[in-house]
Amino acid sequence: MNDFSVHQVITICGSQWGDEGKGKLVDVLSEQADVVARYNGGSNAGHTIVVDGKKYAFHLVPSGILHPKVTCILGNGVVVNLDSLLEELASLTRDNIDYTGRFLISDRAHLLFEFHKICDGMNEAVLAGTGKSIGTTKQGIGPCYALKMGRANLRVCDLLNFEVDFPHKFRTLVATAQRMYGHFEFDTEGQIEHYRKIAEIVRPMIVDGVSWINAAYKEGKKILIESANAVMLDIDFGTYPYVTSSSPSIGGACTGLGLPPKYIQSVVAIVKAYSTRVGEGPFLSELENEIGEKIREIGHERGTTTGRNRRCGWLDLVQLRYSCLINGYDQLCMTKSDVLDTFKEILVVESYELDGKIIHTVPSSLTDLARCKPNYKVFPGWETDTSNIKVYEELPENLRAYIEWIEQQLETPFTCISVGPGREATIFRSPK
């Protein structure tokens, strides 16, 4: 894998529907990084990292925080639930991880409050009544971004001059949300007092994010950029409306941090060896049978944030080609190939058939997508325990054939293979 000896700025993107294992690669590459920056989403995201057998679950804090020389920053594209954030930071303290001076928040990031979560639940209840529930995490992400785009929300900078900016803006914001989503019971004044105390705690973490990240670049700092969610959940490019409310694709890295596109030198896609998604929405390769259940059990496919079962299916090459078009990946990293170690055969969606025609891209219309029939290519399984293999050439021949066929089809090399949850279960490979 091209590392920081070659590139100063590397971006990690999810290439499918999220939960590909981005957090692990961010953790592994953070050993070489000076800065790890998150650019989108909120506490709806979930990264699980395993270090020396211990699990760490992150929702807002970048997983690079586990490396003592790394400074982590939440960019302006992130929506920040400060209550959730402080819980995460407290858990780091309990684990004797000192983040003092190493965790920063952009002053332009938007704040997510408890009433956003109430609105999210209300909206889901209305949609459920129509049979069109999105299946959100109910973490308030959608309403927060909606109010951001409606130019009504509060930002982190409103905590800096609290008495001047926060109380009156917050009262107006709650009233606006009640007009948009309907009346809900909420202790507005109590929350203002709550955030008056929180402001004192987080104020030392707040920086001018745009100036800070660009200064880090000009100082020669090695910057690792991480996304939350993935391209098929992108508000513009995903299976709309069954998407998140932000831009997990590579464009979001620039708008979510204030870093110019020309500074991003390598874009790495995390590709799970099969497919999963959480919530509602089309999923052509979904396995609603014992095979899907086997993948779920072996792969521990349950959400870090919600604990919900993930829907499981075969790898979808049509979807991955579409992902490559949008993000222009330089490298691929395959995760969780070890989950398929016991399968006799592995299937991959090679194309879709729509109205008798073979297509190789994802239709924008969900009506058309629902009418697509997936065409599969069958690969023989490798039926070998790969979890302790350290060198690519020692992987089973059938697994290497699977990997190399996919990279040929996508015209992008796999430079990293993850064969287990721990840092040590990572194989790096030079592209051919």
- Tell me the two tokens of residue 412: 């992008």
DSSP-assigned beta bridge partners for residue 155: 110
Longest dimension (CA), the chain: 66
Which residues make beta-bridge pairs with 318? none
Of 3, 7, 34, 47, the active-site residue reads 47
Distances (CA, A) of 257 to 34, 150, 160, 204, 226: 16, 20, 20, 19, 11
Residues 6+ apart with CB under 8 A from 159: 111, 166, 195, 198, 199, 202, 203, 206
Structure tokens at 241: 């409306």
366 Cβ contact list (under 8 Å, min separation 6): 239, 240, 242, 281, 282
Options 19, 27, 34, 158, the catalytic residue: 19
Return d(Cα 319, Cα 284) in angstroms, integer: 10
Phi, psi of 104 (to 5 degrees): -130, 155
In degrees, rounded to 5, the angle at the alpha carbon of residue 47 between the alpha carbons of residues 42 and 51 is 145
- 19 catalytic? Reply is yes
Q: How many Å apart are CA 284 and CA 393, to the nearest integer?
A: 33
Rg, Å, the chain Cα set: 22
Q: Which of 121, 187, 115 is nearest to 153 (CA)?
A: 115
Which residues does residue 347 pair with via DSSP β-bridges, in sequence order? 378
Closest CA to 105 of 80, 86, 139, 83: 80
Q: Which residues are catalytic?
A: 19, 47
